[in-house]
Amino acid sequence: MKIKFRIILAILFVGLAFASCKKDYPVDEDGLLVTTRQECYVSSFELLGTDFVTVRTKTAAIDTTALTIKVEVLFGTDLKNLYPQFTLATDCKLDPKITGKTDFSDLAHPRKWTVVSGDRKIRKEYTVLVTVQP
Amino acid sequence: MLRKIFISVLIPCTAFLLLLSACKKDPYALPVAKDVLQNDVIKRNMGPNVTGTAIEFAYAMALPRSKGKLVSAEVEATIAGGAGTYMDNNSYYTANGADVPVKVGDPSVTSGTKTTVNFTVDTPAATLRYFYIVPAAAKGQTVSFTFTAKASDGETVSYKMGPYSISKMDMIRNITVKDGGAMFVSIADSTVYTAATLGANAAKVDLIYLYRTPANKTFAHALVAPAADTQYLPGVVLPTGVNKNTKILKVFNLQDHQLAPTLQPGIYVDDPDFQQLDMSTAPNFAINLKAEAGVWVETADGKWRAYIFINSIDNANKSAVISMKRYPVQ
């Protein structure tokens, strides 16, 4: 009776040990969770000046089909020193990452960012088109 | 059997005894005052030590009544203080949150690096406040203080404070700028000129203040370099020689406590901020400036960096009140 009890305990212990080592979800190279979500879009966009105050004249126009973000900024905006802020669909990430001030002064060559879906399989490149208030 | 006794009797007894001893109160004994003249100092102000501002201390000294009375209090600074350096000849106590002065001595006498108060009342204890006005000569150096009290029995006691770093920067507060009037700002001269007073100082003008309300645009209060694009200087006729290309970077929520004493205690712009400032991509204009906003500035020759704070704006009079901290880069 005692031996049976010990065997059952040992089996339970080994089973638990295996279960504890199981990985539920994989993570990507940034340590972010890779999920099953396939949504891949920008839901809102903000542009801040060096004083961390918005420079937009109105809400940015995001076209998720044409993959463009059109934003008009105030007259006198310092285009070389702006902080863009993207709001993305759940579990998405941005490539390249925004690490600080971004130069938008070359209006002929608009800046581009790629949105990557939660399952990391869908990539959509958005173009940010900045115009200055006339 | 022995084991049973150990578990059922000895352990509970020990635990009970430990409990009793843990709750025992140590008897309180009144502290015995030292039979000597004693002193202590606290520094009463915060922030960078800038030329013209005061470093404030409270110097407390006391001796047993049986030993006599206080005769004098003296502070010696390693660098002589600026005009206005003094030690208060009042000791203070607090009543309903307010400081109530009690005169204890003659007004202080400052001679060179020393400031002295001679007591005129018979008191064994006092706390005197010392205000050291940072002199221009101390810029970029450190200053230390030795506080000394003397008692009637000949005993003296001293307390050293410091060293304290003195900022290289200086500041000027509450200058009124006005569109069409005092609108030519010189960082090097730390002043504002009108077209009439500009004279031979045209080449020293780093910024132009203007206020505009164009249709369909937000312009309002602005600080613009003379060399900026004319679209940022609408209607401005530049006097001959006003042509500097100053770098300007807008900031907000940086309410320096020395430039705006009524706001945000604890925020200070200091020398390291100017040293670490990156103005390489800064533009030469800042428009739509709001009250309590500010701008970082670097002069065209790179000799000066400054932080200009907008204390207040007056749209009706097309004017603003600004304060400035400036730092010599070279």
Confidence grade of residue B31 (pLDDT, cut at 50, 70, 90): confident
Cα separation of the two ends of chain A: 90
Half-sphere exposure of A48 (CA within 13 A, CB side): 13
Q: What are the CA-CA distances from residue B137 to residues B50, B72, B133, B134, B190 (Å)?
A: 11, 28, 11, 8, 18
A118–chain B Cβ distance below 8 A for any pair = no
In chain B, which residues touch A (CB < 8 A)? 216-219, 222, 232, 249-253, 281-283, 285, 287-288, 293
Mean pLDDT of B28-32: 86
What confidence tens digit (pLDDT) does each residue in B239-279 have?
Answer: 999 999 999 999 998 999 999 888 777 899 999 999 999 99
Query: Which chain A residue lies closest to B228 (C-alpha atoms)?
Result: A76
Dist. CA B283–CA B248, nearest whole Å: 6
| Residue A20, SS3 per DSSP | helix
Give DSSP secondary structure letters for B160-189: EEEEEEBPS-EEEEEEEEETTSS-EEETTT
| Best CA proximity match to B57, nearest among B84, B83, B86, B82 | B86
Average pLDDT over chain A reads 88
Model pLDDT, residue A48 = 95
pLDDT beyond 60 at A56: yes
Which residue of A50, A72, A73, A133 is the best one to mutate when testing the B interface, meaning the one whose CB has the most B CBs within 10 A? A50
Structure tokens at B170: 């200086």
Token pair 């910024």 in the structure block, residue: B207
CB-based contact A51 B287, cutoff 8 Å: no
B219 Cβ partners below 8 Å, 6+ apart? A75, A76, B211, B212, B213, B234, B287, B288
- The 10s digit of each residue's pLDDT in B203-239 is 999 999 999 999 888 899 999 999 999 999 999 999 9
pLDDT in the model for residue B34: 83
The span from the CA of B173 to the CA of B262, in Å, is 13
Q: Check whether A112 has a pLDDT greater than 60.
A: yes
Residue B199 has what pLDDT? 86
Task: List residues bridging with B328 in a β-sheet.
Answer: B304
- State residue B221's pLDDT score: 96
* pLDDT (0 to 100) of residue B20: 59
What is the number of CB-based contacts under 8 A between chain A and chain B? 42
Q: Please state which of the ranges B103-107, B212-216, B302-306 shows the lowest mean pLDDT.
A: B212-216
Residue A80 has pLDDT above 90, yes or no: yes
Q: Is the pLDDT of residue B1 over 90?
A: no
Q: pLDDT tens for residues B162-179?
A: 899 999 999 999 999 999
Residues 6+ apart with CB under 8 A from B264: B255, B257
Whether the upstream peptide bond of residue B12 has omega within 30° of 0, thus cis, is: no
Q: What is the reported pLDDT for B171?
A: 93
For residue A15, the model assigns a pLDDT of 58
pLDDT value of position B27: 83
Give, for B20, the enclosing helix (H) or strand (E): helix B11-22
Strand pairing of B304-314 and B319-328? antiparallel
Q: Touching check for A53 and chain B: CB below 8 Å?
A: yes
Q: Please state, rounded to an integer, the average pLDDT across all residues of chain B.
A: 91
Name the minimum distance, in Å, from the CA of B212 to any CA of chain A. Answer: 13
Structure tokens at B95: 């009543």
> Contact A51/B218, CB-based, under 8 Å?
no
pLDDT at A16 over 70: no
Entry pTM = 0.81
pLDDT of residue A12: 63
Residue whose entry in the numeric block shows the structure tokens 């006339």: A134
Cβ contacts (< 8 Å) between B250 and chain A: which residues? 49-51, 78
